[in-house]
Structure 1
Amino acid sequence: MSAERPTGRSGGAVLDGFRAAPGVHCETTMLGNMLRHAGVDVSEALVFGLGQGIDAQFFPPPPHASVPPMLTGRVGPGLVAEHACAALGIGLVTLREADDAGAHAQAVAALSAGRVVGVTVDIFHLDYFASRTHFSAHCLALHGLDDSTAYVVDTAQQGGAQQLPLASLVRARASDEGFMPSPRLHWHLDGGPDALPGSAADLAPRIWPAVQGAAAHCLDHGRGDDRGISALRRAAGELPGWGLLPRSEAVIPEIARFWRFAGTGGTNFRGLYAEFLAEAHALTGDADLLPSLTAFTDIVAAWTDLIDHVSAHAGAADRSAHLKEAAARLHAIADAEEAAFARLLELSRDRTGTV
């Protein structure tokens, strides 16, 4: 672990020598900062790829509710950190407390041991966050606490290093409102291997099992029609009916904005996975990865085109036809992703010698 010592504060601790590294996604930003402070300097894309983070999940609107459908592009909260740490051979401690005092004590104890703390929060209670909606599956890297202030790292989109009133952090951690709430959940690293991974020789053997796990996961139709490739196809099948949603002319462009910018959106993670495949190629030197890298680069472009199209829904001359075209584009993306994952699954099985 890092040799730096935390600075004692009344009622808390602040890590000395901590250097913030904002990323494009909250959980990979969180874990990347935890790892880097522990001496494991790996890219955000590698964290995401080793964490088998690529996926799709579809959440239809609840009956009689004004909540729009949600299509995400990653596995559930916490799984990226769990898988990435397992791949790197580093222990990950997951804790949850029933009350605010216990959660605060947990965080102070980990900080006092020189560890960055990962926490889940509801963005509604973050003073610096522009959104005024509840979303409780957001992650922060916490590197300090004192009597009045929490020192955190968020994504680059949210300003990176932030100082947050302690009362705001307490409310954000305790919230059970919004999407996937996980009140007072935190993670910290637990030691590490004798030789911390970081070189190409250390990391290359870890690539193929992670690729195989992610590809098999996305292609598994047994998970239901709301997960993986099946989720993309279900969303595409339902998309023409989104014109009947309440306030559809405002809601549908907002869905597109979510896909483009939000941390759980679709195209963000396709871009991260393309970056991971490029890094995997550099680490392994395996030329057979190049077609998959090209495929995911094309998939990112197709998502971008789809988002541009959906964003223009309100101004379309024929909104019904516009949504049918969007559905056709999403079906084509599902076809492309299924083919890309099938190739990666076959290739990774060959390289690992497993089924």
Structure 2
Amino acid sequence: MSSEATVERVLRLLSLLQRRPAWTAAELGEELGITDRSVRRDIERLRALGYPVQAAPGVGGGYRLGAGRDLPPLLLDDEEATATAVSLRLAAGGTVSGIGDAALRALAKIDQVMPPRLRGSVRALHDATETLAGTGEVDVDTLTTLAHACRDQVQVRFTYTSHRGVELQRRVEPVRMVAAGPRWYLMAYDLGREDWRTFRLDRMQGVEATTFRFRAREHPDPGEYVQSSVTASPYEYLARVRLHIPAQEARRRVPPQVARIEEDAAEGWCMLIAGADDLEWLALFLAPLRVEMEILEPAELREAAASLAGRLSAMASR
């Protein structure tokens, strides 16, 4: 095997070790298509490069990537590693549009191998920095804790404040976090309700990963489930409105946390589905889209739109 192929395989091995907390030699060999002996050689290559790969003997043993005294040789010195981690924390918190999810994944990886002395520097710098952002800001430690829990498949407990202001203790099996506009959501199996639930991260307090592992359940698509949850429930009304605009253009104009956009049978049209407690607010949101639309349900939305139009007309006539 050429040296280039060996390097590529070792990098794939490193990626696997970062994906979950422990692997057996047989599992790694199956993923990489190599023998157990080759796995052991590649593990030694990673150790020679400075990666703290730990091995546990016995039937339940395996390999794991631990935190070491020094950073692996990623061409980053202490100052560069600290600056990278601080930047990722800020980006994961939503200060850099469009890269929050990728920043969170990178932060989870670098946090896993960063020495404790550098973690302290990162926290000090982050605590001394304040950013101005939109609503729904989330503590980055909550993001990191949940990211590790999703990856390691361990249960999480926390205090959750409902939309009615009621605080309840929850224990869940986390699956995936989804960023929708300025907010982050967690899709998880709620052990108390025995069903899938969506949780806003800015309403979670005291998030703690437990030592209880779980086997992954069959679950809905996280992105679709979260969007359906945040745009339809637990609101009093569920609105369905046809828009004379292609679905792709509607998704560009309508934030995903406000409404779900679906294809319509008629060409050039799409369906907007949104939940609301205040139908007049929804009518006020729809009006600036400036497209032909048809309110299918509820009838109260048509009444709210007519009432709003009447008051605006009276305002203009005065």
TM-score by structure 1 length? 0.24
TM-score by structure 2 length? 0.26
Question: Greater helix percent: which structure?
Answer: 1
Question: Greater strand percent: which structure?
Answer: 2
Larger Rg: 2
Greater length-normalized contact order (CA 8 Å, ≥ 6 residues apart): 1
